[in-house]
Amino acid sequence: MSASKVSSVVHWFRLDLRLHDNLAFRNAINEAENRKHVLRPVYFLNAEKINISGINRLRFLLQSLQDLDDNLRKINTRLYVFKGKAVDCLPNLFKQWQVKFLTSQVDIDPEVVEQDEAIEKIAEELDIFIVRRVQHTVYDFNAVLRKNNGSVPMTYQKFLSLVQDIQVKEVIYINKQISDCCKATDFDCKDFDVPFLDQLIANDRTNLSECKYPGGETEALKRLDMYMSKKEWVCKFEKPNSSPNSIEPSTTVLSPYLSHGCLSAKLFYHRLKQVENGRTHTMPPVSLLGQLMWREFYYTAGAGTENFDKMVGNKICTQIPWGKNPEHLKAWAEGITGYPFVDAIMRQLKQEGWIHHLARHMVACFLTRGDLWISWEEGAKVFENYLLDYDWSLNAGNWMWLSASAFFYKYFRVYSPIAFGKKTDKDGLYIRKYVPELKKYPSEYIYEPWKAPKSIQTTAGCVIGVGYPKRIVEHDKIHKENIQKMSQAYKVNKERKAMKRPRS
């Protein structure tokens, strides 16, 4: 790579892998064309993140990057992909490309914030102008916090009251051809192409499942159009009435596209409003729009809370003396707990990278306050590795909620790993798909195979303790003990808060 003598404008794609609703990128285009600078859209593949990501998530990311590159080429530019951390790569690129202007989006992940601060310092020394836009959410979370006097709204309803009169701007689209003068001399260099999956991972790909949800803006908009055309379905959608164990998803599965930035949350908001306009429809929190607002709620909480993804040092999180049991954690993560419904969910997560939100409720409660008494932070790490729609703020917020550490405090309401799944799938079709060892079990025993007589186990071809594990805990007994532990933890936290209050 030879040093460039032409000044450059760089747009750093991160969680905005799209051309629609990308004001930061349009700012970069305008700056490059007005000043006759080279335009360089870049993306950095962090090797550390690749090493911990599940293969499904990595595949989704690469598909999204390839689609982004394809769409960029349609408007006469391209994506430059680099392997490494932005904080390590950008300082050299600043000098090599004679960068004068850098645009990107605002993020709240502490690792990213720390990286941004380091890059800003370097850019300032080199007299590089930086523009960052809030474009991963419907609302500017910092503006919402200011509206609440700098405090985090601790309830969903409080959040809704804060944003009810905020007007959401219309979505912009970038489709105009970019001037040839903005092309770099290395435009056709293959070194910057989006890598293939097998170029990044060395492990066996034979277990890679069928790609159910291809990544990219093109697929995101196609999926959005498909669901928004089902106006009656959208208007009648109620979160509690969707099925966590249907073989085909009973929700939109737009979350991976939102989390990677292939779909703008603002566009989703406007399309939902269009469908609801003039029609009778369900309301937040159970409506589809309500689901989008949960995302906004957690982003606002994450932006305003130090150590949001940890228990210690997190002012909104109840301090609970969770236990440590590596064997139980591993059994949960690999789907071998002996509870078929829990195991089916965790295996679907590992195989496909996505599980229904109510299924997430089930396994999160099981890991934490329900059965295993293991910290929600451990569960959050597993979800980070495997979820296609992993999102820093939503992951931490949901885990705190489901472990009754914050936002939700009815810790005595515990999901049953037996009864909950039966409500929507009494014959266990979901279990038979993801826990095939049990596929020949009678429906009577599919959720509780340990209750089947030995003769039935043998006939079904799977003896418990041999072909499928015994239960690692007894739910009926352990969840009652854990409720008592939670009660004690709440009592201790209440006493601590009382001691910290200033005396009058």
Tally Cβ neighbours within 10 Å of residue 315.
10
3-state secondary structure 186-242: CCCCHHHCCCCHHHHCCCCCCCCCCCCCCCCHHHHHHHHHHHHCCHHHHHHCCHHHC
- 3-state SS track over 387-419: CCCCCHHHHHHHHHHHCCCCCCCCCCCCCCCCH
137-170+218-304 belongs to CATH 1.10.10.10: no
Q: How far apart are CA 254 and CA 447, in angstroms?
A: 30
Residue 3 pLDDT class (50, 70, 90 cuts): very low
Pick out the residues of the known binding site. 251-255, 291-298, 389-391
Residue extent(s) of CATH 3.40.50.620 domains in the chain: 1-134
Give exposure, 493-504, as e/b (b: 16+ Cβ within 10 Å).
eeeeeeeeeeee
Give the C-alpha separation, 208 to 134, whole Å: 35
Q: What is the mean pLDDT of residues 255-277?
A: 98
Q: How many CB atoms lie within 10 A of CB 475?
A: 20
Identify the pLDDT of residue 9.
Answer: 98
Share the mean pLDDT of the chain: 94
Query: In the chain, how long is the greatest CA-to-CA distance?
Result: 80
**So what's the pLDDT on residue 433?**
97
In angstroms, how far is CA 29 from the centroid of its own chain? 29
Task: Provide the 8-state DSSP code for 178.
Answer: P
Domain span(s) for CATH 1.10.579.10 in the chain: 326-492
Q: Report whether pLDDT(372) > 60.
A: yes
DSSP secondary structure string, 74-134? HTT---EEEES-HHHHHHHHHHHTTEEEEEEE----HHHHHHHHHHHHHHHHTT-EEEEE-
More confidently predicted of 178 and 241? 178
What is the strand order of the sheet 129-133 is part of?
A: 80-83, 38-45, 8-12, 99-105, 129-133
- Is pTM beyond 0.75 here? yes
Q: What's the pLDDT tens digit per position in 434-488?
A: 999 999 999 999 999 999 999 999 999 999 999 999 999 999 999 999 999 999 9
Measured distance between the N- and C-terminal CA atoms of the chain, rounded to whole angstroms: 68
What pLDDT is recorded for position 203? 59
pLDDT at 47: 77
Q: What is the mean pLDDT of residues 158-166?
A: 97
CATH 3.40.220.10: does it fit domain 1-134?
no
Q: Is the pLDDT of residue 205 over 60?
A: no
Neighbours of 462 (CB within 10 A): 19
Q: pLDDT for 391-425, tens place per residue?
A: 999 999 999 999 999 999 999 999 999 999 999 99
The pLDDT value given to residue 52: 67
Domain with CATH 1.25.40.80 in the chain: 137-170+218-304
Q: Give the tokens for residue 181.
A: 């003068």
Q: Check if the beta carbon of residue 72 is closer than 8 Å to that of residue 220.
A: no
Q: What pLDDT shows up at residue 320?
A: 98
Closest CA to 108 of 408, 396, 398: 396
Residue 340 CB coordination number (10 Å): 27
Q: What is the DSSP string of 137-150?
A: SSS-HHHHHHHTTT
Which residues does the annotation place in the binding site for FAD?
A: 251-255, 291-298, 389-391
- pLDDT class of 5 with cuts at 50, 70, 90: low
Mean pLDDT to the nearest integer, 53-66: 92
Tens of pLDDT, residue by residue over 26-50, are: 999 999 999 999 999 999 998 777 7
Ramachandran category for residue 140: left, alpha or beta (phi over 0 → left; psi -120 to 50 → alpha): beta
Average pLDDT over residues 239-262: 92
Query: Per DSSP, what are the bridge partners of residue 105?
Result: 133
CB-based contact 466:472 (threshold 8 Å): no
* CATH code 1.10.10.60 for 326-492: no
Position 240 scores a pLDDT of 83
